[in-house]
Amino acid sequence: MKLLFYSLFLAGLVVAVPAQSAETTTTDVEKEVTAAVKSSRVTIVHLWAPWCPNCMSELKNHGWRDFLSVNPDVGVIFVTVWSSADGKAELEKYGLTEQENFEWFHHPNTSRTKEERLKTFLGQPIVWIPSTWIYKDGQLRYALNYGEVRFPLLQQLVRDAEAKW
């Protein structure tokens, strides 16, 4: 009986200690973006992929290029996720990379399969792309997690995030 008790106790300890996974390991990309969103300026983190139709629509309509141009004091960080293609050529083609307030990263977890793909970033769940998160002083102020950004709405959210809370 004692042997059974100790076996169950040890099995419980093994189960209680989660295995380290890609989801619990902070990547260099996440460390750099974390440092950037701690800024006192409003910083937007945009998760996207070059294969995503909504993501490409935002670029083709010059929404992001125009937004960057009229908001030079807002930092915008694109993070390519769920894609082996980094998307840099698309970002260059649509005039984002030449903007001084623009940064771009390619997350090392490139899987698109539901079981293996990136599920969290900066402690936030990723359920859809594009996802657009607005930070100020390291605090998430707004999260748009389901699809294509509407730029007048984004502009209003940036104004609201700039206000003292």
Mind listing the pLDDT tens digit for each residue in 43-59? 999 999 999 999 999 99
Domains located in the chain, CATH noted: 26-162 (3.40.30.10)
DSSP conformation class of 64:
H
For 119-134, b where at least 16 C-beta lie within 10 A, e where not — what string? eebbeeebeebbbbbb
Q: What is the pLDDT confidence band of residue 164, given thresholds at 50, 70 and 90?
A: confident
**80 pLDDT higher than 60:** yes
How far apart (Å, rounded) are the C-alpha atoms in residues 127 and 129? Answer: 7
Q: Which residue has the higher pLDDT, 12 or 112?
A: 112
Query: How many residues in the chain?
Result: 165
Task: Give the per-residue pLDDT at 114.
Answer: 93
Work out the mean pLDDT of the chain and round it to a whole number. 87
| pTM of this structure | 0.84
Mind listing the pLDDT tens digit for each residue in 82-115? 999 999 999 999 999 999 999 999 999 999 999 9
Task: Give the per-residue pLDDT at 97.
Answer: 97
Task: Give the per-residue pLDDT at 165.
Answer: 67
For 77-89, b where at least 16 C-beta lie within 10 A, e where not — what string? bbbbbbbeebbee
Task: Give the per-residue pLDDT at 25.
Answer: 67
What are the DSSP calls for 40-61, one per residue?
Answer: SS-EEEEEE-TT-HHHHHHHHT
